[in-house]
Amino acid sequence: MGGGIGKSTLSSNNADNSYLAVDFREYERFYYKNERENLRLKLSQTRQNSRARTQNNNTANNFFFTPFISHNILTQNNGFGLSGFNYGFVSGLNFGVDSNNTLGIHTAFSYGNLSGKKDAFETDISTITTLLGLHYKLDMVYGLYFKIFGDVFYLLNKAALNNQEQSPNSLGFGANAYLGKTFNFDNAGNLNLELGINTTGLQNNEINFTNEIYMKNFIMLVYSDIYLFYNKIFASRFGVNAGIGTKYLFTKPQAKIIIGGYDTFDIGADTILGYLRLGIDWYINNTISLNLDYIGSFGDKSISNTGMFNIKVMW
């Protein structure tokens, strides 16, 4: 039975791969950035003109498209120690309903692969993810704001253990909420502090290999999230941004395996997850901006490094 329990990490890796495939959306701050507002604030000659332009621009609409590539690692603490790349994009529309409310829709697609070998077991897992969601932001007084976004996603999985293959597809959802405050330091830039809750649910199909069966299961991940983000725009129309955050897992997701009898095991999700963001921005004019960002995510069970290029068009 010990050998089977060793193999059970395949289910853990498959669940974590599904999570990694969609987790990038939680760090994607392009949903709510109002680049044209920031640009006009910087290029205004007086504070009075800045305030007037900001008020006139709060209802600006924008479209964004963000291709990305990431390298993901599931460490030896999480089974086989798999690694691989993930490719995809995030895209969406934001609509300024009025001076305080922003509503938008977003979609995403990604393809990822994790593979590795430990002892006599060789594992290869690939996942195609499609995602669709809505997001909303409410701007309040004193620089306070509240934002939420929710989405549903479908994962086409292909899991191979040695010479055996299975296709355990998954259906999931995400619902996240943040309360934040913007500290405006005028020429020194802006600092944002956010506190939030991230929830992800995954319904996974059964995986049936010879001598062992990974049962159909529902996995629920609930993380707290604290995030500090800084950005500054220069008169040259270039800007810089940096952010740092940490997450803590409140739930203890588990799955079941049958090897002669039932057994329950932890899927191996990160309990503590820290992340870092660094980026540069170029505001070509009041309509188009380009952004190049790096995001690193470092957990007790996984490591992810992502590069993304964002194109935003505003009107």
pLDDT digit string, tens, across residues 191-243: 999 999 999 888 887 777 666 777 778 888 899 999 999 989 898 889 999 99
Grouping H, G, I as helix, E, B as strand and the rest as coil, residue 234 is coil
Helices 35-43 and 47-57 pack at an angle, to 10 degrees, of 160
Averaged pLDDT for residues 2-25: 45
Digit-coded pLDDT (tens) for 52-97: 444 444 447 889 998 999 898 887 665 557 889 989 998 999 888 8
Check residue 268 and report its DSSP letter.
Answer: -
Between 287 and 268, the higher pLDDT residue:
287
Report whether 257 contacts 212 (CB < 8 A): yes
What integer pLDDT is reported at residue 18 of this predicted model? Answer: 47
Averaged pLDDT for residues 297-310: 89
280 pLDDT exceeds 90?
A: yes
What integer pLDDT is reported at residue 4 of this predicted model? Answer: 38
Would residue 110 be called left, alpha or beta, if left means φ above 0 and alpha means ψ between -120 and 50 degrees? beta
DSSP for 68-121?
EEEEEEE-GGGSS--EEEEEEEEEEEEEE-SSSEEEEEEEEEEEEEEEEEETTE
Strands 170-184 and 207-209: unpaired
Between 122 and 39, the higher pLDDT residue:
122
Note the Cα 123 to chain centre separation in Å.
25
Distant-in-sequence, close-in-space partners of 19: CB < 8 Å, separation ≥ 6: 200, 202, 221, 269
What integer pLDDT is reported at residue 278 of this predicted model? Answer: 93
Short-list 40, 30, 19, CA closest to 312: 30
What integer pLDDT is reported at residue 78 of this predicted model? Answer: 56
Cα angle vertex 270, ends 252, 153, to 5°? 85
Digit-coded pLDDT (tens) for 98-108: 888 989 999 98
What integer pLDDT is reported at residue 181 of this predicted model? Answer: 95
pLDDT band at 40 (very low <50, low <70, confident <90, very high): low
pLDDT band at 282 (very low <50, low <70, confident <90, very high): very high
* CA dist., res. 135 & res. 102, Å (int): 8
* CA dist., res. 129 & res. 111, Å (int): 6
What integer pLDDT is reported at residue 253 of this predicted model? Answer: 80
Handedness of CA 27, 30, 31, 36 (dihedral sign): positive
Torsions phi, psi of 53, nearest 5? -70, -35
What integer pLDDT is reported at residue 76 of this predicted model? Answer: 65
| E-assigned strand segments in the chain | 62-74, 83-96, 101-118, 121-139, 144-161, 164-166, 170-184, 190-204, 207-209, 212-214, 217-233, 238-249, 254-258, 262-266, 272-283, 288-299, 302-314
Report whether 207 contacts 159 (CB < 8 A): yes
Q: Where are the domains of the chain?
A: 2-314
What integer pLDDT is reported at residue 5 of this predicted model? Answer: 32
2 pLDDT exceeds 50?
A: no
Strands 83-96 and 62-74: antiparallel
Best-predicted range by mean pLDDT (34-48, 179-193, 214-228, 266-280): 179-193
Between 126 and 164, the higher pLDDT residue:
126
What integer pLDDT is reported at residue 258 of this predicted model? Answer: 67
Short-list 218, 221, 219, 217, CA closest to 251: 221
Token output for 49: 């003109």
Q: To which CATH superfamily is domain 2-314 assigned? A: Autotransporter beta-domain (2.40.128.130)
* CA dist., res. 217 & res. 214, Å (int): 9
Averaged pLDDT for residues 114-121: 74
DSSP-assigned beta bridge partners for residue 5: none
Averaged pLDDT for residues 99-124: 83
